[in-house]
Chains A and B, each alone.
Chain A
Amino acid sequence: MDGIHDMGGTHGWGTVAIQPDEPVFEEQWHARTFALGLASMGASGTNLDAFRHALERLHPVEYLADGYYGRWLAAAELLLVDSGVLAPGAVEARARRLGGEDVVEPADVEVCKPSYERGGPGSLRQIDDEPAFEVGQQVRARDLRKRGHTRMPAYVRGRTGVVDARRPAAVLPDSTAHFTGEDAQHVYTVRFESTDLWGSDAEVSTVYIDLFESYLEKTL
Chain B
Amino acid sequence: MTADSRTADRPPAALRAEALEALLTERGLVKTDVLDGFINRYVNDVGPLNGAKVVAKAWVDPDYRARLLADGTGAIKELGFGGPQGEHIVVVENTDEVHNVVVCTLCSCYPWPVLGLPPNWYKDPAYRARVVREPRALLAEMGLVVDGAVEIKVWDSSAENRYFVLPRRPAGSENLSEEELTALVSRDAMVGVADVKVAS
A61-B121 contact in complex given A8-B105, A29-B18, A205-B151, C-beta closer than 8 Å: no
Give the residues in chain A near B119, CB-CB below 8 Å: 18-19, 22
Question: A9-B132, A24-B43 known; A73 and B17 CB under 8 Å?
Answer: yes
Find residues 188-214 in chain A having any chain B CB closer than 8 Å to their own CB.
Answer: 189, 194, 197-198, 202-203, 205-212
Cβ A91 vs Cβ B42 within 8 A: no
In the bound complex, residues from chain B placing their C-beta under 8 Å from that of A143 are none
- Which residues from 126 to 156 on chain B have a C-beta closer than 8 Å to any C-beta of chain A? 126-130, 132-138, 141-143, 151-156
* A85 in contact with B29 (CB, 8 Å): yes
Name the one of A11, A16, A95, A124 contacting B18, with C-beta atoms under 8 angstroms: A95
What is the distance, in angstroms, from A79's C-beta to the closest C-beta of chain B?
Answer: 11
User: What is the minimal beta-carbon distance from B10 to any residue of chain A, in angstroms?
Assistant: 6
Residue contact B126 to A203, C-beta cutoff 8 Å: no
With an 8 Å Cβ cutoff, the count of chain A residues facing the other chain is 86
A86 at the interface (CB under 8 A from B): yes
Q: Collect the chain B residues with CB atoms within 8 Å of residue A97's CB.
A: 19
C-beta contact mask, A149-164 vs B, less than 8 Å → 1, else 0?
Answer: 0011101000000000
CB of B159 closer than 8 Å to a CB of A: yes
Looking at B20-28, B59-67, B169-177, the stretch in contact with chain A turns out to be: B20-28
A98 interface residue per 8 A CB criterion = yes
Number of interface residues of B (CB under 8 A): 75
Residues of A within 8 A of B27 (CB): 85
With a cutoff of 8 Å between Cβ atoms, the chain A residues found around residue B18 in the complex are 29, 32, 95, 98
State how many angstroms separate the Cβ of B179 from the closest Cβ of chain A: 22
Contacts of B2 in A (CB 8 A): 65
- B153 and A206 contact, CB distance less than 8 A: yes
Residues of chain A with a CB closer than 8 A to B24's CB: 36, 39-40, 43, 80, 85
Q: Does B78 contact A (CB under 8 A)?
A: no
12 contacts between A and B (CB under 8 A): A6-B105, A13-B129, A25-B39, A35-B38, A35-B39, A40-B24, A43-B24, A93-B19, A98-B15, A122-B160, A153-B156, A167-B90
Q: Which residues of B contact A (CB under 8 A)?
A: 1-2, 4, 6-7, 10-11, 13-24, 27, 29-30, 34-36, 38-39, 42-43, 47, 87-88, 90, 103, 105-108, 116-117, 119-121, 123-130, 132-138, 141-143, 151-161, 188, 193-194
Given contacts A18-B119, A205-B136, list 6 more A-B pairs with CB under 8 A: A24-B47, A68-B120, A95-B15, A203-B136, A206-B151, A206-B154
